[in-house]
Amino acid sequence: KMALRLCYPLAAWIFILLIPGLSEGGKLLVVPAFGSHWLSMKEVIEKVAERGHEVVVLKPEVSWNMRQRQEHAYAVKAYPVSNKLEEIEDSFQEYYAAHLKDMPFPLKLIELYRVYVQIFNTFFLQCRELFNHTETMRYLNQSGFDAVITDPSIMCGVTVANYFSLPLVFFMRGMPCNLHFEAAQCPSPLSYIPRTFSFHSDRMTFFQRVGNALISFLELWYCNGYYHDALKLSSEVLQRDVTLTDLLSSASVSLMRFDFVFEYPRPAMPNMVFIGGINCAQKEPLPQVYSHFPKKCKYMLYGRLVLLFCLVFF
Ligand SMILES: *[C@@H]1O[C@H](CO)[C@@H](O)[C@H](O)[C@H]1NC(C)=O
Ligand SMILES: *[C@@H]1O[C@H](CO)[C@@H](O)[C@H](O)[C@H]1NC(C)=O
């Protein structure tokens, strides 16, 4: 009798597994970020598609580094945008030049903040145009995606997932202002966790800790300025006032492409999975130009700043 009682649920499970709809692959919407952010994501997306899931990559018609050179297993859905590739490239040139400009420290930071806002607003505008494009929005609504995977740095995928109430997966390097850790409610004690731009290690003197606290105070302000346009768009389309942490806390799983070998240890949440090293899936020897670089490289005043920006954003 006991065996029979166990048998029924087992039979039910086997039956459920045999229903074709339930054992098929999922349908995944990918909303990538521009440029180098896409490079490591592409490898993962390709594998997911090869394993029989239906994967659609949503991208603006004008974007960096997303030209299709080889065959791939995923589908691409492009939406029209009004800006030209030259415009994006010009603002990237300006952004790049700002990092190399020789300026006194506070002015330098203001200048960097300005170019960041400018370049990101270009991408926020593309996102606005996505929400304005009825045909694409209808397609997204009717496709019945199971989940969205996105790099949250430009927030568009986050807004799309919230708009269609879809589960959200992050594939990311990091965000300014400790945002993703804050949104996940990770403990982040100021005495042990150096903030972006502080250049401290996890062992700080008393005054370094004070500096760290001041930076975290500034963070209350600068990320809201930085993401001002993205927040405005999200609040409009979601028809409620949203904050950055509201939006970012909707992630079910965060795949973090770094590793504590390179980062200071810090408390993380169980839904954060560290996949550092995935960036190196495709490697090629350095071109000749760079191979002698370390020998020539002088210690620049802003070198660390540039490095930090690169680490955080690329
Ligand atoms: C969105 O569409 C409306 C009406 O179709 C238009 O007036 C507006 O300029 C568009 N906005 C953007 C950012 O494309
Ligand atoms: C998706 O389409 C359905 C009907 O086709 C509509 O009721 C619903 O509001 C749409 N959802 C969004 C988020 O636009």
Percentage of the residues of the chain whose pLDDT score is greater than 70: 82
Does the C-beta of 313 come closer than 6 Å to ligand 2?
Answer: no
pLDDT-derived band at 67, boundaries 50, 70, 90? low
* Ligand 2 centroid distance, CA of 58 (Å): 19
In the prediction, which pLDDT does 152 show? 94
Least confident of 9-13, 173-177, 212-216: 9-13
**Distance between CA 29 and CA 144 in Å, rounded?**
10
CA distances (Å), origin 250, targets 160, 169, 244: 12, 9, 10
**Amino acid at position 294, single letter:** P
The bound ligand whose nearest atom lies closest to the alpha carbon of 239 is 2
DSSP bridge partners of 79: 60
Distance in Å, CA 182 to ligand 1 centroid: 34
Q: Quick check: CB of 163 below 6 Å from ligand 2? A: yes
More reliable by pLDDT, 292 or 79: 79
pLDDT digits (tens, 9 = 90+) for 151-198: 999 899 999 999 999 999 999 988 888 898 999 999 999 999 988 777
CATH topology of domain 25-276: Rossmann fold (3.40.50)
Least confident piece of the model among 12-26, 32-46, 121-135, 214-228: 12-26
The structure tokens 């969205």 sit at 148
Ligand nearest to C-alpha 138: 2
pTM above 0.75, yes or no: yes
Span 94-107, average pLDDT: 83
In whole angstroms, give the CA distance from residue 85 to residue 219. 32
Looking at the CA of residue 82, tell me the nearest atom of ligand 1. 14
Instruction: Compute CA distances 141 → 78, 203, 233, 263, whole Å.
Output: 15, 49, 19, 39
132 close to ligand 1 (CB < 6 Angstrom): yes
Which residue's entry shows tokens 């770094």? 258
- The burial class, CB within 10 Å (0-12 / 13-18 / 19+), for 159 is buried
From 61, 79, 132, mutation site for ligand 1 pocket: most ligand atoms within 8 A of C-beta: 132
Nearest ligand by distance to the CA of 129: 1
Q: What is the pLDDT of residue 66?
A: 65
C-alpha 86/C-alpha 63 separation (Å) is 10
Three-state secondary structure readout of 185-250: CCCCCCCCCCCCCCCCCCCCCHHHHHHHHHHHHHHHHHHHHHCHHHHHHHHHHHCCCCCHHHHHCC
Residue nearest to atom 8 of ligand 1 (CA): 132
Q: What beta strand segments (E) does the chain contain?
A: 27-31, 54-60, 75-79, 147-150, 168-172, 251-256, 272-274
The answer, yes or no, to whether any atom of ligand 2 lies below 6 A from the CB of 139, is: no
**What's the residue count for the chain?**
314
Tell which residue, 153, 121, 97, 116, has the closest CA to residue 302: 97
For the stretch 39-65, pLDDT in tens is 889 889 999 999 999 999 999 998 876
Distance 121 CA to ligand 1 centre (A): 16
For ligand 1, is residue 128 a contact (CB within 6 Å)?
A: yes
> Partners of 78 in the beta sheet?
59
* Mutational test site, ligand 2, from 141, 159, 163, 239, max ligand atoms within 8 Å of CB: 141
Mean pLDDT of the chain: 83
Q: What integer pLDDT is reported at residue 17 of this predicted model?
A: 54
Contact 58, 159 (CB under 8 A): no
* Residue nearest ligand 1's atom 1 by CA: 132
Cβ proximity of 268 and 253 under 8 Å: no
CA distance 241 to 59: 26
Which atom of ligand 2 lies nearest, measured to the CA of 164? 13
Task: Give the residue-averaged pLDDT of 292-314.
Answer: 45
Q: Ligand 2 centroid to 141 CA: how many Å?
A: 6
**φ and ψ at residue 256, rounded to 5 degrees:** -100, 120
- Determine the Cα–Cα distance for residues 290 and 83; give it in Å rounded to an integer: 32
